[in-house]
Structure 1
Amino acid sequence: MIHQFLLDATWNGGRNSTGTIQTGNLSHSISIPKEMGGPGIGTNPDEMLLGAAATCFLITYAAMLERAQIEVESLTLHAEADVDVTNNIFEFRAIRHFPTVVLKEQTQLEKAERLAFKAESSCMITKAVAGNVAVSVTPNVKAVDRDE
């Protein structure tokens, strides 16, 4: 079964202009980031790719934890991306995910950690950028401290 996603965009000029995107529940201004010589208004492709990779990983990981019947107290994620700019050529190099998952039970720590790595390799965005962008995960898995 094919799922189709649609996006409409406008752009108001040359390289350093601004635009908008509209897709599903996302409507946002776009431009080149200030760090890359643009106006820095709204979001940009780099943030959007990092956001796509991060949300894909997070949802995949949560689904795998649920299917494994691992009870989660909380699941958060910090993600980072590296974009190389050499000789005015922009190249997305790496995405790093740092999930923190707090489990309700101590007995599932190792399994939850293994699932973090499996979630990364199973994520469709990671698969889409494979061979072009290095993607890694460094999970922090712990259990609720019931003595507090």
Structure 2
Amino acid sequence: MDVLYTAEALSTGAGRNGRVTTPDGRLALDMAVPKDMGGSGEGSNPEQLFAAGYAACFHSALQGVARAQKVAIADSSVGARVHIGPNGDGGYGLAVELEVVIPELPHDQAQALADAAHQVCPYSNATRGNIDVTVTVTDD
């Protein structure tokens, strides 16, 4: 692979109850275990960061696919829900739900764009075959 960009982050402290930063200072977050998992919930968590990254990356892939097909999707959005739970083997696993909204397109056309974006998105390509990812197109 020809590398176009490399992101770096550093976790310090106690992992899920520590701090994450990037060398450029653009990201500096206190981390905390979510209340649902027995923590304080008074900080960000890895699942939120993964959801934010996946939503932004998938939305960019969606826009790129639409541009290539000469389709305008100015009011589109992508939401991501990242679920964590026991994997049955003593560890934990993730599952992702992506919700795509393209209000100006008929549902079938929006679904076709979302399906094409799912083939292009680096997060989709990295997770394919490793975790369940559901892509749903909704009208709102």
C-alpha distance 34-15 of structure 1, shift in aligned 2 (>3 A): farther
C-alpha distance 86-131 of structure 1, shift in aligned 2 (>3 A): closer
Looking at secondary structure, tell me which structure has more strand per residue: 1
Q: Where does residue 124 of structure 1 map in the other structure?
A: 122
Count of residue pairs the alignment pairs up: 137
Aligned identity (percent) is 19
Secondary structure of 2:41 counterpart = coil
Q: How does 1:1-80 map to 2 (within 5 A)?
A: 1-12=2-13, 14=14, 17-22=17-22, 24=24, 25-80=26-81
Task: Give a deviation string over 1:70-103, Cα, whole Å, max 9, x none.
Answer: 12241122322221136873221x2111111122
Counterparts of 1:34 and 1:109 in 2: how far apart (Å)?
A: 37
Bigger radius of gyration among the two: 1
Deviates more, 1:115-124 or 1:22-31: 22-31
Counterparts of 2:7 and 2:111 in 1: how far apart (Å)?
A: 35
One-letter amino acid of the counterpart of residue 92, structure 2: F
**What runs of 5+ residues in structure 1 fail to find an aligned partner?**
143-148
Q: Where does residue 91 of structure 2 map in the other structure?
A: 89
With structure 1 as the length reference, what TM-score do the two structures score?
Answer: 0.75
C-alpha distance 8-57 of structure 1, shift in aligned 2 (>3 A): closer
What's the offset of the Cα at 1:51?
Answer: 1.8
What's the offset of the Cα at 1:135?
Answer: 0.9
Counterparts of 1:133 and 1:58 in 2: how far apart (Å)?
A: 19
**What runs of 5+ residues in structure 2 fail to find an aligned partner?**
none
Q: CA RMSD in A?
A: 2.7
Counterparts of 2:101 and 2:123 in 1: how far apart (Å)?
A: 20
